[in-house]
Amino acid sequence: MSAKQASSNPPPTQSSAALQSSFQTLLENYQTTIPARVKLIDSFLLFIFLSGVLQFAYRVLVTSYPFYAFAGGFGSTVGQFVLLAGLRAQVAPGSDGEFKEVSQERAFADFCAASVILHLFAFNFLG
């Protein structure tokens, strides 16, 4: 609630300064309200996203010669991203209403099992 109030406070004459301050409050709020585990998930998500983008750019610009290797590498990033997003949806604050029966430990265990299977597939594809 405090984040909303902070962003509406500055005068609308200097929009760039307003944008800057709103980003600052967003970051501050993120740092203060989001639990460490979710922050961990977010940083992992960012890393995987960048890795996937790089691999796809490489495939488009340079080569996709062993297509299976591309499918393995890119598939593992995409799959891991999806699994992480699922985990985040279950453990992030505010999702308690939706996933009442699922405890954090249960969600993490699911995520681990699915990831291990995903990686096995990915390495098989690498060839």
Partner 1 sequence: MRVPSLLLGPLLALIGLVQARSSTGDRVLVVLETSVKKDDYSKFWKSLQDRGFELTFKEPKDKDADLVTFGELKYDHLVMFAPGTKSFSPSLSPKSILHAQFAGLNTLYFLSPDLTENNKEFFREYDIEFIDSSNTLIDTFSYPADYTPSDVLLSPSSSLIGNGEIVSPSTTSGGPIIYPSGTVFTTGENPYLIDVLHASKTSYIGQNKILSSDEAEVEKSVSGNNRNSREPILNGKKASLVSALQTRDNARVGFVGSSEMVKDTWWNKEVKTTDGKSHTTGNAEFISDFSKWIFQETGVVKIVDSTHHRKGESEPRELYTKKDEITFSLTLAKHYTTSNGTSAWGPFEVEDLQLDFTMLDPHVRTALIQDKSAAVAQGTNYKAKFIAPDRHGVFKFVVEYWRPGWSYIRLSTTASVVPLRHDEYPRFIVGAWPYYVGACSTSVTFLIFCALWVSLGEGDRDRKGKKKAE
Give me the residues that bind partner 1 (CB under 8 A), please.
Answer: 35-37, 40-41, 44, 47-48, 51-52, 54-55, 58, 62-63, 65-66, 69-70, 72-74, 76-77, 80, 93, 96, 104, 108, 112, 115, 119, 122-123, 126-127
Least Å distance, CB 31 to partner 1, is 15
Concatenating the DSSP letter of every residue in the chain gives -HHHHHHHSS-TTSHHHHHHHHHHHHHHHHHHHS-HHHHHHHHHHHHHHHHHHHHHHHHHHT---SHHHHHHHHHHHHHHHHHHHHHHHHHSTT-TTTTSS--HHHHHHHHHHHHHHHHHHHHHHH-
* Residue 26 beta carbon to partner 1: minimum distance, rounded to whole angstroms: 22
CB of 28 to partner 1, least distance (A): 19
Specify the residue, 25 or 77, whose C-beta has the smaller distance to partner 1. 77
Q: Which is nearer to partner 1, 19 or 40 (CB)?
A: 40
Q: How far is the CB of 11 from partner 1 (least distance, A)?
A: 37
